[in-house]
Amino acid sequence: MRKEVGGEGEWDPDWERSKEVESGTEKMMEKLVGLAGRVRQLKPMIERTVVSQEFSAAAAAGVGTARSYSLPDLPYDYAALEPVISAKIMEVHHSKHHNAYVTNLNKALDALDKAKDVNEVIALGPALKFHGGGHLNHSIFWTNLCPPDTSQPPSPDSALGKLIAERFGSMDAFVTQFNAKSAAIQGSGWGWLGYDKARKSVEFVALSNQDPLEASTGLTPLLGVDCWEHAYHMQYFSDRPGYLKSIWRCINWQNVEHRLQAAMA
Amino acid sequence: MSTFKLPSLAFEYGALEPYIDATTMEIHLTKHHNTYVTNVNNVLGGPNGAAIKGLSLEAIQRSVSSLDPAIQTAVRNSGGGHYNHTMFWTTLAGVGSANSAPFGDLKTAIESDFGSVDEMQKLFNTTAATRFGSGWAWLCVGDDGKLFITSTPNQDNPLMTGIADKPGTPILGLDVWEHAYYLKYNAARPAYIAAFWNVVNWDKVVENYSTAKSGGTAVMDVPMQ
């Protein structure tokens, strides 16, 4: 698009500038169209993850008849978290480990129904905690995760961003501390970011085995990272720190923020 | 100052196939066990190391419950891990390279204390399968001279008096941390436990039993450097 000024073909700096802007705008339009397409692709996944899974996980853990808890579906394919967490790990973790917790929770509840006396009831305590905790923790975990690099960390002026900064100093400091303390868990356990409703603050807590956060500490779980070897061994072997470093690419911050909103309500 | 050194296996990584795979053996020794050696040496070389300096690895196990809190957790985990794995390697052998069943006094004792070798294995299997999370299952000689089976969490062991639920002298142990079996068995711990019996070095376990009965502990080399 040529524009002549003064009709004599003089060079017009404004026209040059407007041509740059125009071509720049065209490039930006192309990018926006591309982005819009990508957002359209991701939208159902985000919706499923945020809207339906976050609380269907809670539902799966808390609703249904006493002995019919069931394995929740993942909000994504087994391969969706590659290369951070391999498809093989996701498949075994979900269909074998989590599934076993559900099965054994239901078995323990059956046994509870049939308990002949108080001694038998009490004896079932550890199994209910192990398998109930395992079901609960994994249900939360799946919703805390998303495909790599698809979720932005909370902005410093969001509710979550402010609480993290207040408690840990900064997002970076939070991640460093979370990873150091999770790496240091002896044997099997979980690293948690939990919300303290009374103090209106967030805390990091490391727990052993499948001890559930809320029942053990009163904190509301926002984000949990499974540090059992089964969560990473096939891919990272003994390198738990490497697993912890990588997993932050897969944290679904919208889910964490939604959990916080629900806890603060 | 003398520090602990990672022991060598008496067999190739692949010698326990197909029951325990070669890759697991290599990673288990050179990564997991090695980390315990490094960490217990760090305690030795650190400001509070005097409490365990000069102690045998076995004596360190017995000392854990009375250690200074500054080093207790580290010694419990890495000193325990070093003992448990060092002993573990000596009680494994490829098929055909050692006696494949208990014999002699040990066999008699097993039959006396459990009814039969089969019943002892069943109890051991259940104990190993129901150790929740990470830990070890053990066949031990008690203070009363009788055999018993127990399990401990993480890297605890029955030598840790004041810590172990049922203290005693272990003569055979099985690592049930997921890293011990995950690559081949995934979530199927019971299948790993069943397979384990194919690669137990009963010559060594019989020797351990004899030593335990006379007041000693499992016979093993603990290399230093």
Per-residue model confidence (pLDDT) at position A222? 98
Average pLDDT, chain B: 97
A22 and A121 together in one domain: no
Rounded-to-10 torsion of CA B71, B89, A92, A66:
-60
Q: Is residue A70 part of a domain?
A: no
State the residue for tokens 């008690």: B142
Cβ <8 Å between B31 and A237: yes
pLDDT digits (tens, 9 = 90+) for A123-142: 999 999 999 999 999 999 99
Amino acid B177 reads W
CA gap B84, B174 in Å, rounded? 9
Average pLDDT over residues B30-36: 98
Q: Which of B176, B178, B189 to mutate to test the interface with A (most CBs of A within 10 A)?
A: B178
Q: Is residue A144 part of a domain?
A: yes
Strands annotated E in B114-178: 135-141, 147-153, 169-175
CA angle B102, B110, B17 (to 5 degrees): 35
Q: Is residue A191 part of a domain?
A: yes
Do B22-90 and B104-213 have matching folds? no
Q: Is residue A61 part of a domain?
A: no
Average pLDDT, chain A: 85
Instruction: Note down the domain range covering A221.
Output: 80-265
Backbone dihedral angles phi then psi of residue A190, each to the nearest 5 degrees: -135, 145
A120 and A235 together in one domain: yes
A36 and A84 together in one domain: no
A36 pLDDT tier (thresholds 50, 70, 90): low
Backbone dihedral angles phi then psi of residue B200, each to the nearest 5 degrees: -80, 135
A21 and A116 together in one domain: no
In chain B, what residues touch A234 (CB-CB under 8 Å)? 182-183, 186
- The correct answer on CATH 3.80.30.20 for the domain covering B104-213 is no
Q: Is residue A264 part of a domain?
A: yes
Counted across chains A and B, CB pairs separated by less than 8 A come out at 56
A40 pLDDT tier (thresholds 50, 70, 90): low
Contact between B36 and B71 under an 8 Å Cβ cutoff? The reply is: no
Residue of B nearest to A126 (CA): B132
Q: Is residue A165 part of a domain?
A: yes
Average pLDDT over residues A193-211: 98
Q: What is the CATH number of the domain that holds A98?
A: 3.55.40.20
CB atoms within 10 A of CB A199: 10
Q: What pTM, to 2 d.p., does this model score?
A: 0.86
Give percent above pLDDT 70 in chain B. 100
Residue B180 has pLDDT above 80, yes or no: yes
Give percent above pLDDT 70 in chain A. 75
pLDDT digits (tens, 9 = 90+) for A222-247: 999 999 999 999 999 999 999 999 99
pLDDT digits (tens, 9 = 90+) for A77-127: 999 999 999 999 999 999 999 999 999 999 999 999 999 999 999 999 999
In chain B, what residues touch A96 (CB-CB under 8 Å)? 186-188
Minimal C-alpha gap between B219 and chain A (Å): 26
A68 pLDDT tier (thresholds 50, 70, 90): confident
Per-residue model confidence (pLDDT) at position A29? 60
List the domain boundaries for chain B. 22-90, 104-213
A129 and A247 together in one domain: yes
* ipTM exceeding cut-off 0.90 for this assembly: yes
Tokens found for residue A180: 């150091």
CATH architecture of B22-90: Orthogonal Bundle (1.10)
Query: Where is the binding site for Mn(2+), in residues of B?
Result: 28, 85, 175, 179
A29 and A145 together in one domain: no
Residue that wins the pLDDT comparison between B34 and A50: B34
Q: Is residue A216 part of a domain?
A: yes
Q: Both ends of chain B: CA-CA distance in Å?
A: 8
A58 pLDDT tier (thresholds 50, 70, 90): very low
Q: Is residue A195 part of a domain?
A: yes
CA gap A161, A154 in Å, rounded? 5
Q: Which of B42, B131, B182, B185 to mutate to test the interface with A (most CBs of A within 10 A)?
A: B182
pLDDT digits (tens, 9 = 90+) for B151-174: 999 999 999 999 999 999 999 999
Helix (H, G, I), strand (E, B) or coil at B26: helix
- Count the domains in chain A: 2
CA A200 centroid distance within chain: 21
